[in-house]
Amino acid sequence: MTPDPEQVGRRELADILRDRITSGQLRPGDRLPSERDLSQTYDVSAITARAAVQQLRTEGLAEAVRGRGVVVRTPVEPEIIVVEPGSWVGARQPTPAERRTYQVPEGVPLLVVTHADGLQDLYAAHRYRLTFRAS
């Protein structure tokens, strides 16, 4: 799909790349086109191309891999965690240390389960799904 270049901005370019990922044209581990290639193909600035790729990273669809560039992230089958009555759940972006500790890709939030006693458990949102036990 190559739309009219005058109509391509960062959102449209991110949509094009996202469609290529969800359709299977770009598969897990495949390298995304470089900013330069995107700029030339869609007649956009390097800043626009960078912003579109960053959007996919923020969504967790792609990740930067040292020595390879930005690649399509491999989806993970989530583990189910049962949350007890009286607990509540929130989400937030991890700190750099938490990102390393919990192996959270860029753009993926942490799920924060706060138990009735005030203790918290943290879960990487791409690897866990939460369900609530009936009270």
pLDDT tens digits for 31-87? Answer: 999 999 999 999 999 999 999 999 998 888 998 888 999 999 988 888 999 999 999
**Cα separation, 95 vs 78, whole angstroms:** 22
Residue 44: predicted pLDDT: 95
Specify the fold of 5-72: Arc Repressor Mutant, subunit A (1.10.10)
Residue 5: predicted pLDDT: 45
**Cα separation, 94 vs 116, whole angstroms:** 22
Which tokens is 95 given? 């700190």
The predicted-structure confidence for 14-36, as pLDDT tens digits, reads as follows: 999 999 999 999 999 999 999 99
**By the 8 A CB rule, do 15 and 7 touch?**
no
Would you call 18 helix, strand, or coil by DSSP? helix
* pTM, two decimal places: 0.66
Apex 55 CA angle, 90 and 33, nearest 5: 145
Domain ranges of the chain: 5-72, 79-132
Residue appearing with tokens 């007649």? 43
Cα-based distances in Å from 33 to 23, 50, 74, 78, 101: 16, 11, 17, 28, 30
Residue 4: predicted pLDDT: 52
